[in-house]
Structure 1
Amino acid sequence: MRILVLGGTAFLSAEITRQALAAGHEVTCVARGTSAAVPDGATWVRADRATGVAAFTDLDGHWDEVVEVARDPVFAKAALDALAGRAGHWTFVSSCSVYADPSVPGAAEDAGLLQPLPEGEHGTPETYGESKSAIEEMTRRAAGEKAHILRPGLIGGPGDASDRYGYWPARFAAKADPVLVPDIPDSPTQIVDVRDVAAWVLYGAARGLSGTFNVVGEVVPFAGYIAASRSASGATEEVVPVSEDWLVQQGIDYWAGPDSLPLWLPPGHEGFQARSNAAAVAAGFALRPWQETLKDTLEDERSRGLERERRAGLSRLTERRLLSRWKGGRPAGARSGGPPG
């Protein structure tokens, strides 16, 4: 196939490019290349998508497959205007963040969506879900039956720069001090391996697959994920479960960012990491065991440095401070529930 990847330098789009090249396809990537180069073997068209349709003036001919990962509706519309008529198949990587209600476990693709961002309005981090919803709508309108829309949840695996999934196995592998965890043993985690998402993109392209699919992994209780992370790293350090309410009082953030606890979500998000993937699996989506993703993520974390500065998780200093406060105020024999006072 002749494949055009709108991107090709970052986590998922780079993995799609690598797998497509390994399968013998001709791959062209449109990217600025300010943070990384495209994988070896791909044709690189350097372009800034902020220029609109002009970003695609150097692209000629018909494409069997176009892969779009944009989060800005203005950029996505320009690509559709310039290329949809010359594409045999169009894949858009959306997100489960398009859903309006994250509280219902097991929800499928027919769940209600966020209101799309108005046409012509640029997306921001605060309007991520609305932006992806808008791009879905314009993709269906422009590409019609050629459109294959993926809604991943949290994508993990080797090369993940967000540090969310890799924080916990890396933290145990550091083998330093007790490990603070939120006391949420039964809360779901749901990670999909970047390599499986990339393979699904190419699977859909080869078969002309259309429609919208939740591309999410197996649901794993937080306690199971933590236990597996500890076991994979060979750690023996104490695990200290800490009350959610107390963590909030200490100013610790949910999910991502500095001084956060990855995979911990606020109330009302009980279904955010527990979506149904039944439709995708029935259509051929293949998942590797989550334990394999965890093992490979840990190897990647070690290669990049366990003590490096991270985008998500607690710094060692913050974690020690919290543990000291928690243990200093907790009644003897208490497992969790928050220190008095």
Structure 2
Amino acid sequence: MSVNHLPSDHPTVNFGKVGVLLVNLGTPDGTDYKSMRRYLEEFLTDRRVIEWSRWLWYPILYGIVLNKRPQKVGKAYETIWNKDLDESYLRTYTRSQAEKMAQHFKDIPNIVVDWAMRYGQPSIRSRMDALQKAGCEKILVFPLYPHYAAATTATVNDEAFKALLAMRWQPALRTVPQYSDDPVYIEALANSITAHLATLDWEPEVVITSYHGIPMSYFKKGDPYHCQCMKTTRLLREHLGWSKEKLMVTFQSRFGPEEWLQPYTDKTVEKLAKDGVKRIAVLNPGFVSDCLETLEEIAEQAKESFEHNGGEHFTHIPCLNDSDDGMKVLNHVVRRELMGWI
């Protein structure tokens, strides 16, 4: 009986592993103009992010936005840049989350944990390739968003599936669904609130849960994001035993001329101060890690606005980041979604 031997130049084939890929929104490589422009161009040309006609949007993007906005956003990033590692805190935290998750799964030898960014580096495609070459026949893609939105979760999934198009040997792929009402997540948020407030020598009259906004037009097309945000805060209220007046919902980070989900965070913070509220706290349940939108837009800009309009005490409650409770949530979700694979 003859045996067909593989050719001597046949590459080594790894197999039998399961990959977990944590994916967050993205980060510029630096705060300089070129780095910011490159990052913003990738972000703002995504059809999931800006759904306008290209004929309408591109003249605005390339004629105005990418000429002016890189300097403005770069200056904002400079105020919250991780100077020790010369990178954004989103990169710092996402890497740390992947490293801590790898430690959590160290007793399961066939699990490989990696991380990527939807915009910027490391790219989803590069890390999918690396996981496949490492022998991952199955990959769980985890968009790091507790709430589903087409402009966040869907665009991560799109990019992951696009990466498969270039692969001869495609791994099986799973994506993590939203977990906005998961009891482990709600408990972690509640713990973060009570632990932070315990460090203060004053008590907030109002606590705001500020979520990243989306245009109203996206909501009207059927995006479930708004409903999931409202449910998270409702479950938090029930867990803490607070009223609607004590724990509010607002939406931040609007961009362009369209109407976005309301009430707006900046307008609400200003109004509360003008109405005589002296002490508030703000947290961002929709962000897994602190980033520009939490550290600069809330902890700096919202604080300044509140105090300028008559408020006296303002505190930002940090995101879960790579804290013990934060990792408990991420590990819990991954274990649940890996059932049947490990």
TM range (shorter): 0.3 to 0.5
Q: Which has the higher contact order (CA 8 A, sep 6+)?
A: 2
What TM-score results when the alignment is normalised by the length of structure 1? 0.34
The structure in which a higher percent of residues are helix is 2
